[in-house]
Amino acid sequence: MKKAGFLLLAVITGILAVLCGYFFEDVKNEVEDILPIERTGTGHVSVITAGGVGQSLHDDTVKAAQTFSPLMEEAIGEPLHRDVKLYVAATVPDYESVLQDKFSLSESDAAEIAAISGGWSSGNKRMTVINGGASATTGRTERMQTTAHELFHQMQYELSRGRDTDENSIYWLSEGSADYVGAYVASKNGGRSLEKWINDTIDAMTVVEGSVSPRQLMQATYDERKSLMDESYYTYQTADLMTIFLVSRYPEPERLRHLADYFRAVGDGKTADEAFTQAFGLTPEHFLDEYEAWWNETRTEYALFDVRAEQGISQALPETVRVKANVGHDELIRKNGAGLHGSYVIILTPDNESLMRAVAKGEGIPVKEAQKRAKNSLWIQSGSVIYLDASQLGDSYQQDYIFTAMMEKIYAAQRHKAR
């Protein structure tokens, strides 16, 4: 990351979605407290540490926990009502211990879950735990995303009045909506933007072969869901794609409210399919047909490049860069018979200091960390975003070389990641 052209591949979805956790209800408790549930309390989230939790993990979890309920009240019309205990486990062994001691999982189940998840929630126990030893909690944005993901599972339980159980819920929507809310809350707290999370998700999945069929992600039993958590299926990434496409039919301010309306309809006694139709205006089967058509088209379309300029960039340069990026991409296609897919944002900065500030802001990281990544670099890639120091572009011939080399490196890294 310290030299020009080093790729900062932050395909967050691939990490977060697989490791972000899962919402399992304790089967033996489903009957006894399914309805009604008492929506009493203040919605307070008590953060409880387990093991030697580092300051950053603690602070980022607390930040997401403190802002979650107000953000939900603003976005969906109501806050978290019930008080929730949020355990933050420092390591994987600490996480296993909490799963056993607080969630009553067996030793073998706890070990299995700890190996594949970054968080765990139980609505009927009003408890959530974050796995500080997982890849899903290695960065500031990831920690806030994971925290909000798990807390939204608590809201799903509240909104559905405990009816959003394994067999009476749409699996992909339960997980995809939690990931979407996680990205939303993180973006509102200075993490990476929701737009970037969406573009990263799409870009990363365009090169994936052999992912699970969307039709396998409707209703699923406890055991089926555990099986689908295997990262080779790309279950969570697929669920994220489906959620992204689903809410794209609405203006941005209305998107989370429609997701919440689905869980409210389940709580009113509708079946999962009936609730989906009521909340989104089409049947699940109709949606699946639309989604598959959209994804088949999206994954084969060549990439689009959106060029954005920071203050201090000449008015004409963004269009020049857009043309050069497309020329470089055309050369990539000519040489390889294939190119990039998805959407990329190129952010132009006037100098290296501005580049480092842009990286800090866009990635939601401290300036000192951005300096380590971007100092003396010409460009830095993070998933669907390319940060570029325009002062080093040189003349037209040099620009041709820069963008041709850039496209080759991004393409090579993307294919390597897919393998």
Provide the mean pLDDT of the chain. 90
Kindly report, residue by residue over 283-325, the tens digit of the pLDDT.
Answer: 999 999 999 999 999 999 999 999 999 999 999 999 999 999 9
Give the pLDDT score at 38. Answer: 62
Helix (H, G, I), strand (E, B) or coil at 48: strand
Query: Which CATH number is 356's domain given?
Result: 3.40.30
pLDDT, tens only, 328-345: 999 999 999 999 999 999
- 28 and 162 inside one domain: yes
Same domain (yes/no): 105, 215 = yes
Q: What pLDDT score does 135 carry?
A: 84
290 and 308 assigned to the same domain: no
**Which residues of 238-369 form beta strands (DSSP E)?**
304-309, 343-349
Tally of residues, the chain: 419
pLDDT confidence of residue 37: 61
264 has a pLDDT exceeding 70: yes
Structure tokens at 315: 């008015």
282 assigned to some structural domain = yes
Give the pLDDT confidence score for residue 136 in this predicted structure.
Answer: 83
pLDDT-above-70 percentage for the chain: 90
Domain stops at, among 233, 262, 295? 295
User: Is the bond into 36 cis (omega within 30 degrees of 0)?
Assistant: yes
- In three-state secondary structure terms, 99 is helix
Q: What is the pLDDT of residue 41?
A: 77
Q: Is the pLDDT of residue 187 over 70?
A: yes
Rounded CA separation 239/177 (Å): 8
Residue 307 in 3-state DSSP? strand
Residues 217 and 177 in one domain: yes
40 vs 241, residue with greater confidence:
241
**Are 123 and 212 members of one domain?**
yes
CA pair distance 12, 17, nearest whole angstrom: 8
The structure tokens listed for 155 are 């809201």
Q: Are 325 and 307 in contact (CB under 8 A)?
A: yes
Amino acid occupying residue 341: H
Gap between the terminal Cα atoms of the chain: 22
Amino acid symbol at 280? F
Provide the token pair at 5: 């052209």
Residue where a domain stops, chosen among 278, 295, 312 = 295
Q: What is the CATH number of the domain that holds 227?
A: 1.10.390.10
Question: pLDDT-derived band of residue 92, with 50, 70 and 90 as boundaries?
Answer: very high
Minimum mean pLDDT among 200-214, 237-251, 255-269, 404-418: which range? 404-418
In this prediction, residue 364 has a pLDDT band, given cuts at 50, 70 and 90, of very high
pLDDT, tens digit, for every residue of 120-167?
Answer: 999 999 999 999 999 888 899 999 999 999 999 999 999 999 998 767
At residue 413, does pLDDT exceed 70? yes
Tens-place pLDDT, residues 205-253:
999 988 999 999 998 887 888 788 778 889 999 999 999 999 999 999 9
Is 336 in the same domain as 312? yes
pLDDT in tens, 9-28: 333 444 444 344 444 443 33
Specify the amino acid at residue 247.
V
4, part of any domain: no
My answer on whether 163 and 195 are in the same domain is yes
Q: Please check whether residues 284 and 317 belong to one and the same domain.
A: no
Domain span holding position 130:
12-295
| Total number of domains constituting the chain | 2
- Alpha-carbon span 16 to 145, nearest angstrom: 8
- Domain edge (last residue) among 295, 330, 361: 295
In angstroms, the CA 53 to CA 56 distance is 8
Question: Nearest-5° angle of CA 90, CA 93, CA 95?
Answer: 60
pTM: 0.90
Q: How confident is the model at residue 419 (pLDDT cuts 50, 70, 90)?
A: low
- Give one word for 394, left, alpha or beta, with left for phi > 0 and alpha for psi -120 to 50: left
